[in-house]
Amino acid sequence: MTDSVFSIRPATPADVAHIHAMIVELAVFEKLEHMVVATEALLHEGLFSVRPSCEAIVGEENGEVVTFALFFHNFSTFLTKKGLYLEDLYVRQSHRGKGFGTQMLQRLAQIALERGCGRFEWSVLDWNEPAINFYKAMGADVMPDWRICRVTGDSLTALAERG
């Protein structure tokens, strides 16, 4: 049996189908599949248009894409520096427990430092104890006093149209 080879690289347009499939897998895992409206075309546009909204890295085991991380920059007014925000990190179920998630987070931290970011942040569902424990073990602070506020769909339209 040969040793497994794992490598991380920036996503390319050829990875869009793999990333999209893992987004759907992630949504099923989080019991949020009813919220997925993403298509490969929209994902391609978000990642590779003239003005991309986000970036992604992928992890390959022996040439097979088995994990992805999708991220973008935000800005901290307190630090007056940009930050790196991780929207999603997913490792396919059959490839978990091999340290790939750790390596992906390490690479993202390196990217944040290379780009002069003052923060590297992400969210985690409060019921996902394995992920919370993993993130804490990686040195992350789970911010107990912060809650995500979201306006989407009809509520977003209504807010925009308020007098």
Per-position DSSP letters for the chain, written without gaps between them: -PPP-EEEEE--GGGHHHHHHHHHHHHHHTT-GGG----HHHHHHHHHSSS-S-EEEEEEETTEEEEEEEEEEEEETTTTEEEEEEEEEEE-GGGTTSSHHHHHHHHHHHHHHHTT-SEEEE---TT-HHHHHHHHHTTPPP-TT-------HHHHHHHHT--
- Under-70 pLDDT residues of the chain: 1-2
38 alpha carbon, distance to own chain's centre: 14
Cβ neighbours, 10 Å, residue 79: 11
Confidence at residue 55, expressed as pLDDT on a 0 to 100 scale: 98
Confidence at residue 2, expressed as pLDDT on a 0 to 100 scale: 60
Confidence at residue 119, expressed as pLDDT on a 0 to 100 scale: 96
Q: CA separation (Å) from 88 to 48, 54, 105, 123?
A: 17, 11, 11, 9
What global pTM score does this model have?
A: 0.93
Contacts 24+ apart (CB under 8 A), 109-112: 111/57, 111/71, 111/84, 112/83, 112/84
Q: CA separation (Å) from 62 to 7, 18, 149, 155, 163?
A: 8, 15, 40, 45, 57
Q: Which residues does 151 contact at the CB level (< 8 Å), separation at least 6?
A: 159
